[in-house]
Amino acid sequence: MKKIVITGMGAVTPVGIGVDAYWKNITAGKSGIDTIKSFDPSELAVQIAGEIKNFTPTDYLEKDLVRKTDPFMQYAYIAAEEALKQSGITIEPERTGIVMGTAMAGIATTAFTQDALSGQALRTKR
């Protein structure tokens, strides 16, 4: 069995952006759960959630990338960048893996992309 090594971590969470902020807040007992502020939840049965607060994507990413991605992808880019910087290593793409938790965020984007790629593959085979 091969060993796995965690070389870096990144975090974009309702409790904090960045591993240090996340850890500081979580160990202080701070909660990321609050009333939903990013849209009007008045028609929903549940009106509380864990939203990413004080997040301005252009503080971390180029405007063009922000325009082309939905928030869950932006969170992933930012967390991955932090993990890579924390690791201090030069990655070898063919030997690199990423573990990411999203709690189902971005499932529509993932499905859309899969459909687009599958459709493209079918069109090129004909």
pLDDT of residue 11: 94
Residue 50: pLDDT band by 50, 70, 90 thresholds? very high
pLDDT of residue 124: 53
Residue 44 is part of which domain span?
A: 12-125
Total domains in the fold of the chain? 1
Angle at 74 (CA atoms; ends 68, 77), nearest 5 degrees = 110
Assess if residue 56 is contained within a domain: yes
Least confident of 8-17, 46-55, 114-123: 114-123
Note if the pTM is more than 0.85.
Answer: no
Q: Does residue 82 contact residue 8 with C-beta atoms inside 8 Å?
A: yes
Q: Could you tell me the CATH number of the domain that includes residue 43?
A: 3.40.47.10
Assess if residue 6 is contained within a domain: no
